[in-house]
Amino acid sequence: MGAGIQIREAHFPGRAPIDAYGNGGFRFADMSHRGSLLCLPSGIHGWDVASASQLTPAHFAKVVAEAADIGILLVGAGSDIMRLPKPLRELLSEAGIAADTMSTGAAVRTYNVLLAEDRAVAAALIAVE
């Protein structure tokens, strides 16, 4: 068997502030990632979401799995500000997670402040150009 190239899910195993965003991605921990991110207590994960209109409960499975360690979830909805659809609000509420939706830029700034304060914060960040 040849080793070949292994494609793995994008994952940074730690918590880190977001240094920059835009151009379809993010920079953090001296790395860059193209696409959206989930910033969770278990680390920073690539998130297969391109638009807030796509969001479904399945997109938040990792968030719900780590609910015990999350007090607030910041949802960076891209350039737009939107309210999460009722099924998503109910899913997060039942898991004990308060969710706050805002633009991705505002979510990044708020996430960095709360992370620096060592708060139980997570972020779901949709990449923006």
In angstroms, the Cα distances linking 4 to 8, 10, 17 are 13, 18, 33
The pLDDT of residue 4 is 58
Segment 108-113 shows an average pLDDT of 98
The pLDDT of residue 28 is 94
- Output the DSSP codes for 65-109: HTGGG-SEEEEE-TTS--PPPHHHHHHHHHTT-EEEEE-HHHHHH
The pLDDT of residue 14 is 82
Find the DSSP H helices in 13-85.
61-65
What are the tens digits of pLDDT across the range 82-110? 899 999 999 999 999 999 999 999 999 99
Q: Which residue has the higher pLDDT, 10 or 39?
A: 39
What are the tens digits of pLDDT across the range 23-68? 999 999 998 999 999 999 999 999 999 999 999 999 999 999 999 9
The pLDDT of residue 13 is 80
Contact 124, 76 (CB under 8 A): yes
The CATH code of domain 17-125 reads 3.40.1230.10
Q: What are the extents of the domains in the chain?
A: 17-125
Maximum distance among all alpha carbons in the chain? 50
pLDDT band of residue 3 (cuts 50, 70, 90) is low
The pLDDT of residue 33 is 92
